[in-house]
Amino acid sequence: MAVHDAMDVLNGKWKISIIAALCFNKKRYSDLLNDVKGISGKMLSRELKEMETHKLVKRTVLSTQPITVQYELTEYGGKLKSVISNLADWGLAHRKKIIGK
Amino acid sequence: MAVHDAMDVLNGKWKISIIAALCFNKKRYSDLLNDVKGISGKMLSRELKEMETHKLVKRTVLSTQPITVQYELTEYGGKLKSVISNLADWGLAHRKKIIGK
DNA sequence: CTGTATCCACCTTGATACTG
DNA sequence: CAGTATCAAGGTGGATACAG
């Protein structure tokens, strides 16, 4: 099933959140560490590496001093934006429903 | 973040696939066991129970002989259909891309 | 048919310390 | 800043047997 194929690539606890964080801006490693609540450095680099091999994100090393690294969605990974957006809408409704009672 | 709230409810390896399987029809336990490739009975009942407490699915016991149980998406859980559908589209494209090379 | 109980291997994740 | 190495702990999931 197609859904299963998608989930193969989006496995792990953090990938969806990382993609969501990259939806509107490129970000550096340390930015992601702040923006993706609760993630550890180890998991962030591990997930990013996986996503890079799956061509979901692009990694660029900037020759600043000290070196910084920029991550952004590929065109391909960007196709997930609408999925994420739908999910975010639902999550918002869900939160309201939970808080509401 | 809203996406994170959604993922809290959709954690685990199987929930998305189960919802996908229930998108168009109600199904019995044994149907799901066949349709969700690779899932074991333990995990299926465990995930279904969680999803029931989150009000994503509705469980109905039918007084047939022997007893059968029917699962269906709640109206609330049904709101995830569009997310699933987007994901399926992406998964299809992804599969083509993978096979294509 | 629809589950639950138990046992167990494996994987994932986190904390911490460390490197370039 | 951007990671990697190591260790430890808990969660995840499968097989099997069993119950209502």
Residue numbers of the domain that contains A81: 2-99
- Give yes or no for B34 touching A (CB within 8 A): no
User: What chain A residue is nearest to B78 in terms of C-alpha separation?
Assistant: A90
Structure tokens at A101: 């009672």
pLDDT band at A101 (very low <50, low <70, confident <90, very high): low
% of chain B surpassing 70 pLDDT: 99
- pTM here? 0.92
pLDDT band at B101 (very low <50, low <70, confident <90, very high): low
Domain count, chain A: 1
Interchain CB contacts (distance < 8 Å): A and B:
92
Residues 50-69 of chain B with CB under 8 A from chain A are none
Q: Which chain B residues contact residue A92 at CB under 8 A?
A: 2, 5
% of chain A surpassing 90 pLDDT: 79
In DSSP notation, B48-88 reads HHHHHHTTSEEEEEE--SS-EEEEEE-HHHHTTHHHHHHHH
pLDDT digits (tens, 9 = 90+) for B40-71: 999 999 999 999 999 999 999 999 989 999 99
- Which nucleotides on strand C sit less than 7 A from a protein beta carbon? 1-6, 12-17, 20
pLDDT band at A1 (very low <50, low <70, confident <90, very high): confident
CATH number at residue A89: 1.10.10.10
The pLDDT assigned to B32 comes to: 96
pLDDT digits (tens, 9 = 90+) for B18-47: 999 999 999 999 999 999 999 999 999 999
Q: In this structure, how many other beta carbons lie within 10 angstroms of the beta carbon of residue A60?
A: 11
Q: Are strands A57-62 and A68-73 parallel, antiparallel or unpaired?
A: antiparallel
Contact between B47 and B18 (Cβ < 8 Å):
yes
Q: Which residues of A65-99 are buried (b: 16+ CB within 10 A; e: fewer)?
A: eeeebebebeebbebbbebbbbbbbbbeebeeeee
